[in-house]
Amino acid sequence: MNKETEKRDWWKESVAYQIYPKSFCDGDGDGIGDICGIISKLDYLANLGVDVIWISPMYPSPGYDNGYDISDYESIDPCYGSMEEFETLLKEAHARGLKVVIDLVVNHSSDKHPWFLNALEGRHAARREYYIWKDAAPDGGSPNNWGALFGGSAWTWDEKSGQYYLNLYSPRQPDLNWENPSLRREVYEMMRRWLDRGVDGFRMDVISLIAKGNDFSDGPVGKSGYHDPRARIAANPQVHVYLKEMQREVLGGKNIMTVGEASATTLENAVLFSNEDGSELNMVFQFEHMDLDGGETFKWNDRTIPVAALKAVMTKWQTGLFGRGWNALFWDNHDQPRMLSRLGDEGDLREASAKMLATCLLMLQGTPFIFQGDELGMTNMRFTDLAQLRDSESRNAYERYTGDGTFTSEQMLHYISLKSRDTARIPMQWSGEPGAGFTRGTPWMDIHPNHVYINAEEQEHRADSVLSFYKELIKIRHRHSTAVYGRYEPYELENEDVFAYFRVGEEETLFVCCNFAATAVTFPVPERLQSKGTRHLLGNVEGSAYLEEGRLAAYEAVVISTDAKRP
Ligand code: GLC
């Protein structure tokens, strides 16, 4: 049996970095990150050692969902700069060996997109069928009991034409109708033009939900008062037909990287999306590990992720996709709170826990995505006032749950500080100065007060900083093919504090051991590490007592290499 997956690809060997452009770097002083800001940080990214940057949307947008409501797929929003600047960004990134992946948001458009404005003209409008319209239920209400992710019904009434349109996210984001061949053709043409411009691939927003299927029946209702239809939509096999068509029409034969955001998907579907035969996408983001602390009121609670459950889920995806598909690895992104704040320590052990989490993620199989600021050990923002929030999701949730008395205002702000998308969307902390080196103007979102001590400038030349540690981890991925291709094998899976695993390669086996506990623990040293060829590759504790004494310090992480072959 082969110990490594056979097919080698550059995008498997890459480390990606996600830029949330609004909060990355403001070049012109208007308080909003922009393209010239990104260009000014390309050397920083090249130095970090990443290979690919994924930039969240910079298209013209009314901004209801911070750019994920697009009103023009083929231009740059003036708040970020111009198309010329974007082309310069591509050129400058490529000159440094960095590839640039852009966001493709075609599950829905903005309600201000010309296609939707046309569709609103009436039932016979040319672009009417680019969206999903249904008649009212016999009682005049919405066609079914589906809810929108950002609150309220998934159906919005259009008075003029007397029909409802579907919006799985918000009424400002009407869902596109992928059954319509002209819509698909327009999307493919648009994608081709971006590739011609030189982009190196796409991160495809909620691609798992584009094919809605024919089942528009009611479903079980949750605490929100609505049915969440995402799992049933994601189960519709038609999505694979569309992606295969997209592969034929646009992606095939190009040296690009594609990563699908596969919300609500199953492992079996992910195998199809990221199939080794290359018929659909390269890899997918799955979210099972992100939802482990959810509950009746969705993510709005103070629960944490149980480490044992996290290990079980990661193991399921590591083993389930091995040799069949490919994982995209992440702890956080612009939709998630920082993993450091969820499972690490924001206090004295912040750096140790940031390094431990990075080790655990970057040594798994899959292409790792670092979210801006992870490499500094940035933490969640704490919100004390509704006025600090920018995201409609948290604002709507606040209204809903304080409005009906489910939570008090204090409770809700507490949950928002723990779980909201705004927690990690705050400006990047480049320096300890006012404005955090992010802007010389007034930032669009509050800057975290801890930027005075958590910032890139302070960490860049400090050998034991989180930033320096990330650089070492990335080097390990680049130098050890086992870190990319080796087979994942969990070790002591039942242990509730330590997440440990082997990566078994042809010539080398890596052992990765991460203590998620805030205290020292004892943990058995595997026999395989008794081999003479065993060496300590990286760790976050000087003078680690693990190999000799089987003891791990609080949040300790070690990466050990051995030439021992699998028994
Ligand atoms: C994706 C994006 C998220 C956005 C949603 C709707 O999940 O990552 O930010 O709100 O899609 O476009």
CATH of 16-106+181-467, one of 3.40.50.880, 3.20.20.390, 3.20.20.80, 3.10.20.600: 3.20.20.80
- 460, 463, 469, 474 alpha-carbon torsion, rounded to 10°: 80
Looking at ligand 1, which atom is closest to the CA of residue 65? 10
Cα of 150 from ligand 1 centre, angstroms: 10
* pLDDT tens string 493-520: 999 999 999 999 998 999 999 999 999 9
Which residues are near ligand 1 (CB < 6 Å)? 65, 68, 105, 169, 205-206, 261, 334-335
* pLDDT tens string 110-142: 999 999 999 999 999 999 999 999 999 999 999
Strand 283-285 relative to strand 257-261, pairing: parallel
Cα of 205 from ligand 1 centre, angstroms: 6
Please state the separation of Cα 463 from the chain's center in Å.
28
The ranges assigned to domains in the chain are 16-106+181-467, 114-166, 487-562
- As given in the structure block, the two tokens for residue 335 are 């939709």
List phi, psi (to 5°) of 102. -110, 165
- CA–CA separation, 100 vs 38, rounded Å? 12
* pLDDT tens string 376-408: 999 999 999 999 999 999 999 999 999 999 999
Probe residue for ligand 1, chosen from 22, 23, 65, 228 as the CB with the greatest number of ligand atoms within 8 Å: 65
Per-residue pLDDT at 1 exceeds 50: no
* CATH class held by domain 487-562: mainly beta
- Predicted TM-score (pTM) of the model is 0.97
Per-residue pLDDT at 191 exceeds 90: yes
* DSSP line for 388-399: G---HHHHHHHH
The answer to whether 166 and 134 are in contact (CB under 8 A) is: yes
* For residues 240-263, average pLDDT: 97
What superfamily would CATH give domain 114-166? Oligo-1,6-glucosidase; Domain 2 (3.90.400.10)
Residue from 77, 85, 261, 335 carrying the catalytic annotation: 261
- CA–CA separation, 12 vs 510, rounded Å? 18
Looking at ligand 1, which atom is closest to the CA of residue 333? 8
Verify whether residue 288 is a known catalytic residue. Answer: no
- CA–CA separation, 142 vs 134, rounded Å? 9
* For residues 276-298, average pLDDT: 95
- pLDDT tier at 563, thresholds 50, 70, 90: confident
- pLDDT tier at 533, thresholds 50, 70, 90: confident
The sign of the dihedral angle between the CA atoms of 415, 416, 419, 424 is negative
Residue 501, helix vs strand vs coil: strand
SS3 content of the chain, % helix, strand, coil (to 5): 35, 15, 50
* For residues 240-257, average pLDDT: 97
Helices (H), 348-444: 350-362, 392-403, 409-419
